[in-house]
Structure 1
């Protein structure tokens, strides 16, 4: 089931005041970026983040979720917990490199 635009709007409202937030629709789901770095996936109306070692202590007790069949495990993010969400985004911004665009073959 794809995520609804209404739910994405709700998630984006929770992120108001955090600079560098952008999103892209991908295959009926959404990927939210911070400073051009992939940060939060919204799949089946569930916000989730990559299960990074740097997040394990901070997100202790967060349920494991899978964005799609065959995907690596992610952590469900309680988007309404603003303090936690800000801390998670700070960690992701710090440890995730900016994706380099691949040049198209000529």
Structure 2
């Protein structure tokens, strides 16, 4: 099952207080970026964050989620908990590097 457009709009609505939120559709699912940094996987109408040491305390009671077969286990983020989302996004902005740009090689 893939993520619905309605759920993706809900995710974006929950993140509207943050500047520069973008997303990319990948294989029927989505990666959400905050200021160019990949912060959320949205799969099967569920928002997930990487299990990072910096998030361990905040996400201690969160259920586990598997974004896709073969992926590492992530933590499910309760997007309706505004304070939790704010804290998680603040941490992710600090610890998540910008993706490296791919350089195309000429033949």
TM over 0.5: yes
In the TM superposition, structure 1's runs of 4+ consecutive aligned residues that sit over 4 Å from their partners are: none
Look up the SS of the partner of 2:30 in the other structure: strand
Query: Displacement of 1:100 after TM fit?
Result: 1.2
Aligned length: 106
Across the aligned residues of Structure 1 and Structure 2, the Cα RMSD in angstroms comes to 0.7
Q: Distance in 2 between matches of 1:20 and 1:89?
A: 12
Are 1:61 and 2:61 matched, yes or no? yes
5+ long unaligned stretches in structure 1 = none
- In 2: Cα distance, 1:60 partner to 1:25 partner: 29
Residue 14 (structure 1) aligns with: 14
Match of 2:45 in 1: 45
Deviation digits for residues 74-102 of structure 1 (CA, Å, limit 9, x no counterpart) = 00000000110011011111001101111
- CA deviations over 1:48-77 (Å, ceiling 9, x no partner): 001111001011110111101110110000
TM-score (norm 2): 0.96
1:1-106 matches, cutoff 5 A: 1-106=1-106
